[in-house]
Structure 1
Amino acid sequence: MQLDTKNHLSSGELKSVKMFRRAADYIAAGTFLLFSSSLSSITHDDIKSRLLGHWGTCSGLAMVYEHVNRLIWKTGLDALYVVGPRHDTTAILSCLWLEDSLSTFYPENTRDYKGFSHIGTPGAIHEGGELGYALGVSFGAVMDNTDLVAETGTTATAWHGLKHIDPCESGAMLPIVHELTALFTYVQIVEDVEYIDNDLAASMDWALAEIKKIQSAARSGNPIVKPRRPMLILCTPFGPGWTVGPKQFHGEFVEGSFHSHQVPLPGAKTSAEELAALQAWLKSYRPEELFSADGVPVPELFSADGGPVPEVLSVIPEDSAKRLGERKESFRAYSPLAESCTKAVGRLLKGAVEENPQNFRIFSLDELVSNKLDAVFDESGRNFQCDCESPEQGGRIIEILSEHTCKGMLQDHTLTGRTAMFPSYEAFLGLPTFWWSRSIHIVQTMMVQYSKFTKMSAEIPWLQPCGSLNYLEMSTWARQEHNEFLTETHNRAVIGAVLNLKPITAHVYLPPDANCFLSTMAHCLRPKDYVNVMVGSKQPTPVWLSPEDADKFASVDDGVNPDLVLVGIGVKVTFEFIAAAALRVRVADLMILSATGSYPHALTDVAFDSLFMPDKFIHFHYHECPIELNGLLFGRPNLDSVALRGPRPQRSIR
């Protein structure tokens, strides 16, 4: 797409975005290098003893941030800025500090030198500890947010999320690919970074116009068939400051090379030569034009009453609710569901969709029907914009054959105020990204990163709670069928991963029959800030309890003096144990077995003994690897008479 970018910005806008980026880059560089302001002469004592951080793409991220803010300021756009890696968090923090979003949530983080210490990241909906799913979580954020545009970095599979975005009911994605010259070498996007601000501003204005064109057509009843949605490729130098900072050092390139990925001058604490290079680098930003000695912008940048004048901050939206660091979707998130159904999980979910047409979705692989949850299709169809039957129909079910994209959409659909569920085969939730090479179990690691994020969020007073992440495991190892080998070789860590999460976050449920499963599902759709894993069977099984008894089924049998206590954990193993003895204890909420105090809802020792009788032999028959249960029971008294049994994969095809 050839655009006329010459003089796209007015002289005032161009000056403002350049000064904003200079200030943001200077602050970002100083954040992980210095103890004190660099406006005075820097010495070795001013440099931190341990230099940690990533500088490589700070300038690029700050530039996109300021240009998104310019777009918001100019058009009133509702936007989120989703950044892939957390490596360059300092760039985002410096922008948040400049637009004064930090003090809204942390009063102590004022816009001065003292306020830029030990700060959090308000407005974050993507933890960023792992690479690869910023685009996926962004799709989840814009669904059902009709006026929202999310600007982001990208990942291969998640591109297909475009097929599930209905422009009539949802917002839009503007993917911005940064530094992807390996794939786009055939075109020179930017020949001179001196003019990159005009180029980027023109490109973003064009992209927004294209998005509005697609949305307007859809919302007027004349949708464009398979519209060509915009995306941007941003090619910038990788390193210190493009036109400032050390281009080479010790005979090696810094700017544009891997040497700038982390700390460009790691020896500045002890090396006089590197200290001098650092001084020259930071002075090249001309901070004396931007800040006074105590870190506040200099008087020339302030009007008589102390407010900032347009030169630096004019691109920041005046409406604080529009600022990227203060988007309500990222901190006023949870909207409770109004669901009720009592017959089957599929019908319960159908009721949830019916009662919550704007804030409940199901993200699934192409197996919703095979998992016998197809009752939801009586109320809603699939949302797949490339299919002749489903575009513009407002479908609440997203089916895409990518576990980590489903998880990404689930995560940010939940974090931005809605409720969702991710059903899948038990094996596939534990499936590596490259299952044939037994690579990393991406859904599990994404879940772990999310739980860290919610654990920290719970400690932030202004951040409102979100809905829970709800995983539904079906087609388990206990059903010997065509997926058995795949299940045995790849699913052994899902429950174990949840058991290792923070106790305040983790819940694992193994209800033994349909009525108990209904009770469990209804419970999991209501709470907030949890990671819920529910394990069930899609095949018909006996119903042991009435619906009225399903919520309180784990109780002591009428037997007074049993010789043996048998415990079944999981729908299939419970079925096996029912035939073994008249006395049984069925455990659905796995965490109640843990030692008192280790989980918020663990049984007390008195309650545990009333169920399992400390003077009797206890046999646990567990759905997963016995070693997990062994760790969970650690700390309980009288475990000498406990036996644990469960599946032990043989890693072979039978």
Structure 2
Amino acid sequence: MLATFLRDVIRRNMTRFRLFGPDETASNKLDGVYEASGKRWLAQTLPEDEDGGALSIDGRVMEMLSEHTLEGWFEGYVLTGRHGLFATYEAFVHVIDSMFNQHAKWLEKSKTELDWRAPVPSINLLITSLVWRQDHNGFTHQDPGFLDVVTNKSPGVVRIYLPPDANCLLSVADHCLRSHDYVNVIVADKQPHLQYLNMQDAMVHCAKGIGIWDWASTDQGAEPDVVIACAGDIATMEALAAVEILKANCADLKIRFVNVVDLFRLMPDTEHPHGLSHRDFDSIFTRDKPVIFNFHSYASLVHKLTYNRTNHANMHVHGYRERGNINTPFELAIINGVDRYTLAIDVIDRVPRIASSGAHTKEWLKNQIIESVRYAHEEGIDRDEIRDWTWKD
């Protein structure tokens, strides 16, 4: 869907928009843009140089297996008032860490101290080929840590978005491409994922940046027993699957389900323009209930953003633990503790009134973890009930 959107963006802006990427446009499932324009190419060509996109001196797709060269091109391009998007593998966006740092610093000074400087289109980074779907590349391609680098920069110039589905991705992309004077980081996997929201609901959810999904919650306006929160596409799917398990086995458990698209909504509004007030944060996450937070990246980042919140002591974050190999997707989730079974166990452990009554369910969940790992090792794929899972309500 994003490829189709970008195709149309290119068609309507043939002199004002370019797509940048390190020789991975097709791998990142963006090759639909070739319907509008091929690759920029100035050298002699061989038949094997084409991988779906025609080569042309007028091509709008800028490819080179050199992230720092692409970032330099992109920064120079936006300084002329033109727009673009840079798509790259999550593990290798670190190649441009220092270049991102310098551009963010330049943006901060130009916005706050140089009022004669005209606004420039934003640097839009699409981080894809994510940590949780590296079952063929393995440990070297498992690193979601660029988000930590981004959060260190001035809150006036950086934004991070983790859309949970394709419609949210489209809404976020549209917003980012229209913006100026930011570095926008969009985290979205290139593999097919479940769709949860229609386009209208996705636009509303992304505009808020964070929201309670009533259709996935069971508290129905009452005080919840637990908050299950998530940020990221895989993290969202596993959190929803955990809710489904808990609904089937702990029927009277009151669950509030929260999805975060705009990561900086977790910060106080006194520290970031997109931050929530303490009152709004407490309204969503409560002041004293356990919060089981399933996160795309390293768990420490959520703690960093929420350390001064009222309920931070009850914030239990699951994220990448730097554990991986050539794993199936679900096995990788299990060994890092972001899978549905581990999340459900954590809920049972954190809600006192079901700690005893949920013992049998907890045993079943542990058995499912063992069986899932065994199956992955013996068959090389995940079980059908994992691969074919969909939200049923």
TM range (shorter): 0.7 to 0.9
**C-alpha distance in 2 between matches for 1:452 and 1:613:** 36
Give 1:552 deviation, angstroms.
2.4
Aligned amino acid, residue 643 of structure 1: H
Give 1:392 deviation, angstroms.
4.8
- Taking a change above 3 Å as real, the CA distance of residues 530 and 384 of structure 1, as seen in their structure-2 partners, is same
Q: Does 2:119 correspond to 1:465?
A: yes
Find the residue that maps to 1:428 and give its secondary structure.
Answer: helix
Q: What's 1:565 paired with?
A: 227
**C-alpha distance in 2 between matches for 1:594 and 1:572:** 23
- Taking a change above 3 Å as real, the CA distance of residues 641 and 633 of structure 1, as seen in their structure-2 partners, is same
Match of 2:102 among 437, 449, 474: 449
Give 1:370 deviation, angstroms.
1.2
Give 1:651 deviation, angstroms.
7.0
**C-alpha distance in 1 between matches for 2:155 and 2:211:** 24
Q: What's 1:507 paired with?
A: 159
Write the mapping of 1:193-204 to structure 2, written as runs, cut at 5 A.
none
Unaligned runs of 5+ in 1: 1-343, 431-441
**C-alpha distance in 2 between matches for 1:584 and 1:492:** 24
Give 1:417 deviation, angstroms.
1.2
Q: Does 2:212 correspond to 1:548?
A: no
Give 1:595 deviation, angstroms.
2.0
Match of 2:80 among 397, 416, 430: 416
Match of 2:41 among 380, 384, 402: 384
Write the mapping of 1:81-160 to structure 2, written as runs, cut at 5 A.
none
Write the mapping of 1:347-366 to structure 2, written as runs, cut at 5 A.
347-366=4-23
Q: Does 2:141 correspond to 1:487?
A: yes
Find the residue that maps to 1:478 and give its secondary structure.
Answer: helix
Q: What is the identity percentage for the equivalent residue pairs of Structure 1 and Structure 2?
A: 37
Q: What's 1:403 paired with?
A: 67
8 Å Cα contact 1:345-1:373 kept in structure 2: yes
Please give the per-residue CA displacement for 1:396-416, whole angstroms capped at 9, x wherever unaligned. Answer: 001100010111111110112
**C-alpha distance in 1 between matches for 2:18 and 2:258:** 35
**C-alpha distance in 2 between matches for 1:606 and 1:613:** 10
- Taking a change above 3 Å as real, the CA distance of residues 447 and 650 of structure 1, as seen in their structure-2 partners, is same
Give 1:634 deviation, angstroms.
1.9
Aligned amino acid, residue 447 of structure 1: F
Please give the per-residue CA displacement for 1:50-74, whole angstroms capped at 9, x wherever unaligned. Answer: xxxxxxxxxxxxxxxxxxxxxxxxx
**C-alpha distance in 2 between matches for 1:514 and 1:392:** 30
Give 1:387 deviation, angstroms.
4.5
- Taking a change above 3 Å as real, the CA distance of residues 387 and 576 of structure 1, as seen in their structure-2 partners, is farther
**C-alpha distance in 1 between matches for 2:295 and 2:324:** 19
**C-alpha distance in 2 between matches for 1:404 and 1:392:** 23
8 Å Cα contact 2:137-2:326 kept in structure 1: no
8 Å Cα contact 2:231-2:295 kept in structure 1: yes
Q: Does 2:90 correspond to 1:426?
A: yes
8 Å Cα contact 1:595-1:634 kept in structure 2: no
Find the residue that maps to 1:640 and give its secondary structure.
Answer: helix
8 Å Cα contact 2:90-2:144 kept in structure 1: no
**C-alpha distance in 1 between matches for 2:26 and 2:110:** 36
**C-alpha distance in 2 between matches for 1:374 and 1:354:** 14
8 Å Cα contact 1:478-1:573 kept in structure 2: no
Q: What's 1:600 paired with?
A: 273
Q: What's 2:184 paired with?
A: 532
**C-alpha distance in 1 between matches for 2:133 and 2:316:** 23
Give 1:480 deviation, angstroms.
3.9
Q: What's 2:238 paired with?
A: 576
Q: What's 2:129 paired with?
A: 475
Give 1:629 deviation, angstroms.
1.3
Find the residue that maps to 2:39 and give its secondary structure.
Answer: coil
Give 1:451 deviation, angstroms.
0.7
TM-score by length of 1: 0.44
8 Å Cα contact 1:564-1:616 kept in structure 2: yes
Q: Does 2:302 correspond to 1:646?
A: no
* More off after superposition, 546-555 vs 617-626: 546-555
Higher Cα radius of gyration = 1
CA RMSD of aligned residues (A): 1.7
